[in-house]
Structures are given as C-alpha cells and as structure tokens.
Amino acid sequence: MATLDQTGASSARPRAAAHASRLHAPPAPGLRRLGAPLSALLIFAALWGLFLLAWHPWMMRWGSTPEERAMVLPGDAGPPSEYYTRAITINAPPSAVWPWLQAIGQDRAGFLSYDWLENLTGADIHNADALRPTWRQREVGDRVPMAGADLQALGGSATLLTIWIVEPEHVIADVPGRFVLFPRGEHATRLLLRERLAIAERRGLLWLVWDPMHFVMERRMLRGIAERAEGQPLVPPAARVASQAGWALAGLGVLGIFLARPSRRPWLVLPLLVTLPPLWLAHDPWSALAGLLAVGITVGGALVYGRRWWPPYLLLAAAVAHVLLLAADAYAAFGLLFLVLAAGFAAAAWCGGLACWRR
C-alpha cells in the first residue's frame, strides 16, 4: 500500500510542476518585442500621429457636412471658421427632441452622456430616461448646474452655465454648447452642436487633452439625446447587463491582484481612495468601479511587473483612448471586453488544469 501511495505521489509531482511551469512561463517572443521600451514608444508615437492627422480633424467635425460647418447659425458672434460644428440626425421630429434639450442639467435629466465618467469627480449626475413636467421650461438667464451642491460649494459660478438664447424647437444655449434644430421632413431632425474654438480650455497645448475628452462626452450626449427622442436605447438591455457583469468580474480580478500577496495589500488604498467621490458624493457604484479599475490596473501592473510594466502600459492607455474615441458606447464596449477576457482566462485555467491532470 505504501508503495502505491509513493508511486501516486511521485507521479503527481511532475504534473504539478508542469502545470506551474505553464502558469509562470515567459510571454511569447512576439509579445516581449511588443512590450519592449523602444517598440512601445514607436507604436505610441505612431498612434499620436494617427490622432493628429486623422482622429482629431474627424472628431472636430463629427457628423456635420461642409455646408453645415459653413452655415451662419443663430447665436453666432463671428464667422463660422471661429467655431466647430458637430451634428446628428435623429429619427424624431423637433417636438420630440426639444424637451430633452430643455431637460439637460445636473438638477434635471443629467447631461445624457457618460455619467460614470462625470461622477468620478463626485458631480452627482444621473441620466434620466423619462421626462418630468417641471423640466419643460427654459428661459434666458436660467442657470444650469454642472455638478451637485457639494461641488457647487467648492467651484461656485464655474460649475454653472447660463442660458443666453432660447427659440423653442430651434435653438438653445448654453446647456452646454449651442444646439440648433432643423426639421427633416415630418419625422426627423438634424441637430447641430456648435461651440467656439477660442476658449481657455484649449489654450497652448491644452487642446491635446481637452478636445478628445470633450468630444467623447459630447458625442455620447448627442447620441443620448437621439436615443431618448427616438425611444430606442443605443445599447440593448441584454448587452447592458452583460457589460455590467464584465465590469464586476474585472473589479474582482483587480482586487485579486492586490489580495494575492500580503506585500501588495497596503497599496490597495490607492484605488480605494478614488472610489470615495463617486460613492460619497454621487452615490454611483459603477463610477466607483471604473475609478477602482483605472487606478488598480495602473498600480497593480507596477507591483507585479515593476519597471517592465510601463512600456506596455503606454500601449494599454492608447488602446483605452481609442475605445473611448471610437466606440458607440464606451461603457458597454469596455464591459463586454472585460467579459470576453474573463471567459478567456477561465477557459485557459480550465484547459490548463485538464491538460495537467491528463499527463
């Protein structure tokens, strides 16, 4: 009997060793070259070139035609060249679009954009999917809050916009930006969004940060207005639930990185600190989870890989930026990507274990 036990134990040890060697095997040569500092910097520089030459001009005129960009619109205080124009066609008449423009604001229907990003600062913005009768009125001089009372107390008038032009079902500003509506037949609307180029947020090189950040939020706002006026969600409910599952699994994975070793656990305080404004001021757990993942992946990668982490991290950051710029709904895109990665890791772990025990 002892001989059988010894034989079984001796045969199990090679299987376990083989399984461990596969788990800790070095990355493939192609992946190592991709994550090498010089390769990563060259790819990152190429992506910046792509942004400057292609993505930036595209996003500054997103959805608009040359004729629309050359039009003089209500509220223009200078030639059209002093503004940028974005546009979207909505399959609903202006009478269905206009109430949602009146409802924009932190104290009303939100900004119909990515509230999970807005609430990272504790802005306490929550997008509504149904209109209230009290929101169907806007007048010149109305103040539109961009954040909740806590941030208003800190930021004062900088957190407030002022309505300076209102022509029912035709133009409204500033909520933020200037929206101009044109009917297209009886059942469609062309919605233009025009803003001035010469603003403080774009001075010097600040436009490199402001323009893509502002575009991501404004494009989602235009689509948010469209989906509510049309009564058709941009992301189907099933896809939304699946994406939320992906976000939750990603959060568990990041927590696992920190909890796996005692030496990493004190560093968990950094991603947890980022969750305080969304949870405390905005009561938004999904925004808190986004902050946890952003900081947790950054810090966790540095803890696991050390200095080797930063070259591939540049490529990861560029990939995240491209998802934000190009995805119709970045929240759903990230969540579904997380779900696919979680399924891949689970399948790899299961297949690896199965192959180990077959040896």
Task: Please report the pLDDT score of residue 21 as a whole number.
Answer: 46
Q: Where are the beta strands (DSSP E) in the chain?
A: 83-90, 143-145, 160-162, 165-167, 171-173, 178-183, 189-196
pLDDT-derived band of residue 289, with 50, 70 and 90 as boundaries? very high
Residue 334 has pLDDT above 80, yes or no: yes
Beta strand 83-90 with 189-196 is antiparallel
The candidate with the shortest Cα–Cα distance to 275, out of 295, 256, 291, 298, is 291
Integer CA distances (angstroms), 70 to 67, 90, 180, 190, in order? 5, 21, 14, 15
pLDDT in tens, 136-157: 999 999 999 999 999 999 999 9
The candidate with the shortest Cα–Cα distance to 342, out of 207, 251, 278, is 251
Q: How far apart are CA 358 and CA 316, in angstroms?
A: 36
Q: In this structure, how many other beta carbons lie within 10 angstroms of the beta carbon of residue 335?
A: 25
Q: How far apart are CA 290 and CA 271, in angstroms?
A: 10
DSSP line for 38-94? HHHHHHHHHHHHHIIIIIHHHHHTTT--HHHHHS--TT--S-GGGEEEEEEEESS-H
Q: Is the dihedral of CA 60, 86, 83, 199 positive or negative?
A: negative
Report whether 120 contacts 147 (CB < 8 A): no
Query: 52-230, what's its fold?
Result: Alpha-D-Glucose-1,6-Bisphosphate; Chain A, domain 4 (3.30.530)
pLDDT-derived band of residue 348, with 50, 70 and 90 as boundaries? confident
pLDDT in tens, 1-10: 444 344 444 4
Q: Is the dihedral of CA 266, 290, 110, 157 positive or negative?
A: positive
Residue 19 has pLDDT above 50, yes or no: no
Residues 6+ apart with CB under 8 A from 201: 207, 210, 214
pLDDT in tens, 38-52: 888 899 999 999 999
Q: How far apart are CA 334 and CA 314, in angstroms?
A: 18
The candidate with the shortest Cα–Cα distance to 341, out of 254, 271, 283, is 254
Q: In this structure, how many other beta carbons lie within 10 angstroms of the beta carbon of residue 95?
A: 13
Please state the domain extents for the chain: 52-230, 236-358
Mean per-residue pLDDT of the chain: 91
The per-residue b/e assignment along 179-189, b for 16 or more CB within 10 angstroms, e otherwise, is bbbbeeeeebb
Report whether 88 contacts 229 (CB < 8 A): no
Could you tell me which residues are beta bridge partners of residue 162?
Answer: 143
pLDDT-derived band of residue 37, with 50, 70 and 90 as boundaries? confident
pLDDT-derived band of residue 78, with 50, 70 and 90 as boundaries? very high
Report whether 57 contacts 162 (CB < 8 A): no
Q: What are 9's two structure tokens?
A: 């134990």
Q: What are 41's two structure tokens?
A: 């910097």
Mean pLDDT of all residues in 68-81:
96
Residue 14 has pLDDT above 70, yes or no: no
The percent of the chain in helix, strand and coil, each rounded to the nearest 5, is: 65, 10, 25
Residue 79 has pLDDT above 60, yes or no: yes
